[in-house]
Homo-oligomer: A and B are copies of this chain.
Amino acid sequence: MQINLHQTHHEIGDFEAIFKYLTSTFSTGKQNGLHLFPELFLTGYPLQDLVLQKSFIEEYLAFLNDVTLWSEKQFKSAAPIALLVGGLAYQFDSVGLPLQIENVIYLIEPGKKIKAIYTKQLLPNYDLYEEKKYFSPGHLPSVLEFDNKKIGLLICEDMWFSHLHDHDPVEQLKDHLIEKKLNCDLVVNLSASPFHLGKHDQRIQRALEIANYIEAPFAYINRVAAEDEIIFDGRSFIVNGSDVIKLAKAFNSDVLSLELPIFTKSQNEFATKFKTSSNSWANLFTTRLSSDTLALLPLKRNECQEILDALILGISDYSVKNKISKFSIALSGGMDSSLVLAILKIMKDKLPQKIEIEAVFMPGFFSSSQSYDLSYDLCQNIGVKLTTMPIKFIHSTIKGSYRENFSNEMKGLADENIQSRLRGTLIYARSNDIGSMVLNTSNKSEIAVGYSTIYGDSVGALSVLGDLYKSEVYELALYINEQYNDMIPEEIITRAPSAELRENQEDTQSLPPYERLDPILEALLSNRFSAAHLIQKGHKKEEVLKVFSLLTKSEYKRAQFCPIIKVKAKSFGFGYRVPISKKTL
């Protein structure tokens, strides 16, 4: 029997495209075997409140009906064939409101109605997940019999039993197989699993454990797409014994086919290690710190490449789905905006579609000539047009007008921020003028301590670097220079970071140096260490307390921030929720 993994996706709610994919893929009648699609392939994921919206429900039900008509009438095959696709199953109350919504596996077979054969049991509801808000859990195991094979069914979180859930669907599946005296030929897991660094290895490890526990090969089919802040990285796979026998592309669509392997028991630790990798709060959000010194762990080369791929998918999918192909980047001559521009250039060279990129340099009174020179060099290196739009005169005009009308000199923070906000205003004027997307260039360190001007440098449709600490921004820049012919002028990487909003300003005047700031932030954010613990581990007390206080007081800025492309286990954005008003601890 052939197994086919369809690692693909369509826009959320694009029922027409999804229907077309199904009907055209299976129009020849030559396909056969088992075809696996990701979790919620029929609708897209995450859907949030859309699942409750009647327009969405009506369109989805009409589409499901079309699928059934197609499956009953047109879907034909000479050899046995079955499709397992993720979708939603609704139950309504007497007035037509959704009473129960289940995240299910639908079985589609020629000549038959589409049929839900398994309901997801473990609904993740931590961090950015909120499936318990929308879905009702299933309680029963399910084994599909197809072409004389027994296929155990799971959906995504079902393979990740932990203290957050009340029972283990994998154990339940095994018990069911034993009770019914069934030999399992294959376990499949339909997933829509968000990317973060290290997650792929966790999935493989867990899959190998389950394969050996159930004693069957394990097929994992994952969605590939970017949905606002979330990246689905694909990398579907099949494991058998102790081996990954097939692996789909990362961050790209892919279709895999192979003959169903016969299970070979692992000779190594997997046979006995089942459940060692259960999710606790601790390993859900592993801190990227060395355990003894609490120093930030450097990014490995493969991690840099993963981040680069993820960011490119994040930007490109967001822009395609929102129908924008032009980008305007406010270039400062500093590291962050330069890196965003470099990533855009790499994306443009990689993708087939036409993309236009422009850079705008907006010097103020305190912008150094070096900032212009470096911006110019970068744009020359990568062939991007650079426009200089000075803000000095506008800034003066505003100061004069402010002085005249408020009888007060605009100075200090007001005078710093106005420059940043003028730049935000001007880059958005450009965006309105040419229909381009402005990408945000803030990094995670700045966002964490609120070292940014709201409506100023914090503007943008999408944040590219907002899940990377400043130290990691540098690491990624070095990696890109190594891979792409020193695209970014070296001095951009080596010069001291500065917002250039006042004379001789440097970041270190307001913040601890990034090599000390970033580990403190990672400790506070990722595993929510207390300040006391950090101090005890040798971090400077005044720095820890200052950072904690800055983090706590800047919630109001993050509350108005754009979506941040997620590449870490613990990120700002949808999975980070802290009240603005609260006693500062």
Given A93-B163, A163-B93, residue A425 in contact with residue B422 (CB < 8 A)? yes
Q: Is A257 an interface residue (CB 8 A)?
A: no
Q: Determine whether the beta carbon of B530 is less than 8 Å from that of A54.
A: yes
Expressed in whole angstroms, the Cα–Cα distance for A413 and B433 within the complex equals 7
A130 an interface residue at 8 Å Cβ cutoff? Answer: yes
Tell which of B53, B133, B576, B579 touches A46, judged by Cβ atoms closer than 8 Å.
B579
Stretch of A148-156, A398-406, A468-476 lying at the B interface: A398-406
A585 adjacent to B13 (CB under 8 Å) = yes
A406→B56 CA distance, assembly (Å): 43
Q: Which of B11, B531, B559, B578 contacts A49 (CB 8 A)?
A: B578
Find A394's partner among B398, B417, B429 (CB 8 Å cutoff): B398
Q: Which residues of B contact A389 (CB under 8 A)?
A: 401-402, 405-406
Does A21 belong to the interface (CB within 8 Å)? no
A280 within 8 A of B: yes
- A13 contacts across to B, CB distance below 8 A: 582-583, 585
Q: 8 Å CB contacts to B: which residues of A44-62? A: 44, 46-50, 52-59
Q: How far is the CB of A167 from chain B (nearest CB, A)?
A: 15
Tell which of A418, A424, A429, A556 has the most Cβ of chain B within 10 Å: A429
Q: Which residues of B contact A393 (CB under 8 A)?
A: 397, 401
Contact A455 B425 (CB under 8 A): yes
Q: Which residues of B contact A318 (CB under 8 A)?
A: 581
Which of the residues B11, B417, B418, B548 comes within 8 Å of A583, measured between beta carbons?
A: B11
The contact of A387 among B58, B394, B405, B410, by CB within 8 Å, is B405
Of A94-102, A182-190, A302-310, which binds chain B? A94-102
Interface residues of A in 547-585 (CB under 8 A from B): 548, 556, 559-563, 576-583, 585
Instruction: Tell whether, in the assembled complex, residue B280 and residue A93 are in contact, meaning their CB atoms are under 8 Å apart.
Output: yes
Contact between chains at B421 and A406 (CB < 8 Å): no
Q: Does A408 contact B (CB under 8 A)?
A: yes
Assembly CA distance A44 to B318 (angstroms):
38
A408 touches B433 (CB 8 A): yes
Residues of B within 8 A of A53 (CB): 528, 530
In the complex the two chains form, what is the Cα distance from A49 to B579 in whole Å? Answer: 8
Q: Which residues of the other chain, B, contact A126 by a CB distance below 8 angstroms?
A: 133
A163 to B461, CA, bound (A): 39
Q: Check if A529 is an interface residue, CB within 8 A of chain B.
A: yes
**Is A414 part of the contact surface with B, judged by Cβ < 8 Å?**
yes
Q: What is the total number of residues of chain A having a CB less than 8 Å from a CB of chain B?
A: 97
**Cβ contacts under 8 Å, A317 to chain B:** 581
Judged by a CB distance under 8 angstroms, whether A546 is at the interface is: no
A321 contacts the other chain (CB 8 A)? yes
Residue of B nearest to A424 (CB): B455
Residue of B nearest to A404 (CB): B389
One of B413, B425, B433 near A421 (C-beta < 8 A) = B425
Q: Which of B418, B461, B533, B559 contacts A425 (CB 8 A)?
A: B418
Inter-subunit contact A455/B430 (CB<8 Å): no
Instruction: Check if A12 sits within 8 Å of B414, measured CB to CB.
Output: no
Q: Are the CB atoms of B408 and A48 closer together than 8 Å?
A: no
For the complex, is A125 an interface residue (Cβ under 8 Å from B)?
yes
Contact of A580 among B56, B228, B410, B581 (CB under 8 A): B228
Is A426 engaged at the interface, CB distance under 8 Å to the other chain?
Answer: yes
Interface string of A369-405 (1 = CB under 8 A from B): 0000000000000000001111001100110011001
A322-B580 contact given A402-B389, A424-B455, A532-B58, CB 8 Å threshold: yes
Is A428 positioned at the interface, with any CB of B under 8 Å from its CB? yes
A425 x B425 contact (CB < 8 A): yes
Q: Name the interface residues of A485-533: CB closer than 8 Å to any CB of B.
A: 528-533
Question: Is A132's CB within 8 Å of the partner chain B?
Answer: yes
Contact of A11 among B12, B46, B455, B581 (CB under 8 A): B581
Contact B408 A52 (CB under 8 A): no
Give A580 to B46 CA distance when docked, in angstroms. 11
Q: List the B residue with the shortest CB-CB distance to A163.
A: B99
A251 to B236, CA, bound (A): 54
Whether A417 contacts B398 in the complex (CB less than 8 A), given A12-B581, A581-B11, A581-B227, comes out as no
A163 — which chain B residues lie within 8 A by C-beta?
93, 99-100
- Judge whether A281 is part of the interface by a CB distance below 8 angstroms: yes
Asked if A459 CB lies within 8 Å of chain B CBs, one says yes
Point out the residues of chain B lying under 8 angstroms from A583, CB to CB: 11-15
User: Does A282 sit at the interface, judged by CB under 8 A?
Assistant: yes
A65 within 8 Å of B by Cβ?
no
In the complex formed, the residue of B with least CB distance to A430 is B406
Flag whether A432 is at the interface (Cβ < 8 A): yes
Q: Which residue of B lies closest to A389 (CB)?
A: B405
Closest 9 CB pairs of A and B: A414-B432, A321-B581, A12-B582, A54-B530, A48-B577, A14-B583, A414-B433, A13-B583, A421-B425
- A417-B432, A455-B459 known; 16 new pairs, CB 8 Å cut-off, are A47-B579, A49-B528, A49-B578, A55-B532, A99-B163, A130-B577, A132-B133, A389-B406, A390-B405, A398-B425, A398-B429, A410-B433, A417-B428, A421-B428, A424-B455, A563-B580
Q: What are 24 A-B residue pairs whose CB atoms fall within 8 Å in the complex?
A: A12-B582, A15-B583, A46-B579, A50-B578, A50-B579, A53-B528, A54-B533, A95-B282, A97-B282, A130-B130, A226-B581, A390-B401, A398-B425, A412-B433, A414-B432, A417-B429, A421-B425, A422-B425, A425-B455, A455-B455, A559-B563, A560-B560, A560-B561, A563-B580
